Amino acid sequence: MNRNDVLELLYKKYIEPTKKNRDLFAGIEIELPVINLDKKPVDFTLVQDVTQQFKDRFGFYKAVIDENKETQSLVNFQNDDILSYDCSYNNLELSLGKEADIGVAHKRFTEYYEFLEGALGVKNHTLTGLGINPYRKYNNLVPIPNGRYRMLFHHLQTYEKYRPRVPMFFHPYPAYGMFSSASQVQLDVQEDKLIDTIKAFSLLEPLKAVLFSNSVLTEEHEEFICYRDMFWENSTHGINPHNIGMFDALPESIDELIEYIASTSIYCTEQDSKYINFEPINIVEYFAKEQVTGEYYCGGEYKDITFVPKVQDLAYLRSFKFEDLTFRGTIEFRSVCCQPIRDEWTVSAFHLGLINKVSEVNELLSNDRVLYHRGYTATELRRLLNLRKWPEFVDFPALTKLLLQVLKIAESGLRERGLGEDVYLAPLFSRAERLTNPARELLANLENGVTIETIIEDYAKL
């Protein structure tokens, strides 16, 4: 397949869905660490028991089972809500079906969460709102036994073989998907607003680090307030930097956006019921090859396999951008950590309030002198602001003012919708005034003698 054919396929997959006239909906995905308060591994038998109880209580149906016939996900066909486990049974995810009013989704989430907390609490387990599980060292960090997650874990474990020839730092946490949790939102986007939206939210990423960071690698790297970024960027996912993080080369047109997507890499596919992983290959180069060599799991070991690329493999081109354009005609915003449960809805409210205000955001941040125009890219700024120690050039009153300006724009966007959703922004105004976030508060509490057990309990409260 030649380059032009690949570009056409990418256009059909990613751009054509944005041409459809649609109302604005939000799809919300919240990952939550499961914690055994007895400081023992999470009881997977309990997890399955609670999953069954949840199914019966809320009228869900089994959607996916693993190779051991255990339930990996449930679905409600009436509202498209999903309960699933991400990477391992240590990480529970609640995905709320798309809604025009996020308050409707919030109400269902609250019912689900209260039920799960009660059922898990019977055996001294809990969910909580932390981006990195502070009890990870007690858990069995094993992937869900199925082709996809086994392949993914294996792919992440291969980082050592790239060290001699890939000029990047690899962290030693290939199991990070089993103990890190995110709060993600997908919003519909129209083609004529696509480029402006990517630009605006890319410029917002350093400010989001200030407001939302909540991923402290406790007892290991407490100088970082959002270690989640490094988990992705400094793993095998980041061998091609265009697959992760931000758009440093901001696309100025749809054609440039397609060229950017064409610069990303593919590392896995499924053919003949085999999940196959291979060294990341640029997607254009991949389809130009007559055959590709990879490996697949069979009978307890990995075996080499040579296969022919097929058009269907495009479904396995996965990037992990902070602003990730999907085949649904949505942008999935992926950079925010799981938040304290009482503040979880700040994430969807923030993005929803700004999605129709991108022109105002772009004007504000293009002229900003508080963070921008100081010699740093947006990516460099986010990395600096993911550190507990503030950059020396930060003017704190000016930064607070800038954050409040952005939040006022978001508040205006929500109020124009007339659904009362602006109430969810209140915690962010408080954070902006105090220049704090859940990670900074966690670290300050630990220094003041508050136990991690107390913090787990506090961040679990609705």
Same domain, 58 and 119: yes
DSSP-derived secondary structure for 195-233? HHHHHHHHHHHHHHHHHH--B-BTTTBTTBSBTHHHHHH
Same domain, 37 and 171: yes
Same domain, 307 and 395: no
pLDDT the model gives residue 290:
96
Same domain, 133 and 66: yes
Q: Is residue 34 part of a domain?
A: yes
Chain segment 298-319, per-residue pLDDT in tens: 988 999 999 999 999 999 999 9
Chain segment 36-73, per-residue pLDDT in tens: 999 999 999 999 999 999 999 999 999 999 999 999 99
Q: Distance (Å, rounded) from C-alpha 411 to C-alpha 339?
A: 19
Where is the domain boundary, 316, 351, 376? Answer: 316
Indicate whether 245 pLDDT > 90.
Answer: yes
Same domain, 218 and 301: no
Token digits of residue 87: 């990477």
Residues 6+ apart with CB under 8 A from 55: 61, 62, 71, 74
Mean pLDDT for the stretch of residues 288-293? 97
Indicate whether 209 pLDDT > 90.
Answer: yes
Q: Is residue 234 part of a domain?
A: yes
Indicate whether 185 pLDDT > 90.
Answer: yes
**Domain span holding position 304:** 268-316
Same domain, 276 and 361: no
Chain segment 10-19, per-residue pLDDT in tens: 999 999 999 9
> Is the Cβ–Cβ distance between 23 and 334 less than 8 Å?
no
**Any bridge partners for residue 30, and if so which?**
94, 183
The CATH number covering residue 422 comes to: 3.30.590.20
Chain segment 192-208, per-residue pLDDT in tens: 999 999 999 999 999 99
Q: Is residue 450 part of a domain?
A: yes
Q: Is residue 260 part of a domain?
A: no
Q: Is residue 357 part of a domain?
A: yes
pLDDT the model gives residue 299:
87
Question: What is each CA distance from 134 to 29, 184, 245, 408, in whole angstroms?
Answer: 21, 21, 24, 34
pLDDT the model gives residue 330:
96
Q: Is residue 451 part of a domain?
A: yes
pLDDT the model gives residue 331:
97
Average pLDDT, the chain: 97
Same domain, 307 and 415: no
Chain segment 75-129, per-residue pLDDT in tens: 999 999 999 999 999 999 999 999 999 999 999 999 999 999 999 999 999 999 9
Q: Is residue 27 part of a domain?
A: yes
Same domain, 74 and 182: yes
pLDDT-above-90 percentage for the chain:
97
Determine how β-strand 91-99 pairs with β-strand 125-127.
unpaired
Token digits of residue 222: 């407490």
Same domain, 115 and 181: yes
Mean pLDDT for the stretch of residues 14-42? 96
Same domain, 397 and 291: no
Q: Is residue 156 part of a domain?
A: no
- State the pLDDT confidence band at 248, using cuts at 50, 70 and 90: confident
Domain count, the chain: 2
Same domain, 137 and 277: no
Chain segment 408-453, per-residue pLDDT in tens: 999 999 999 999 999 999 999 999 999 999 999 999 999 999 999 9
Question: What is each CA distance from 31 to 18, 152, 265, 429, 435, in whole angstroms?
Answer: 27, 18, 26, 24, 25
Same domain, 202 and 281: no
pLDDT the model gives residue 453:
97
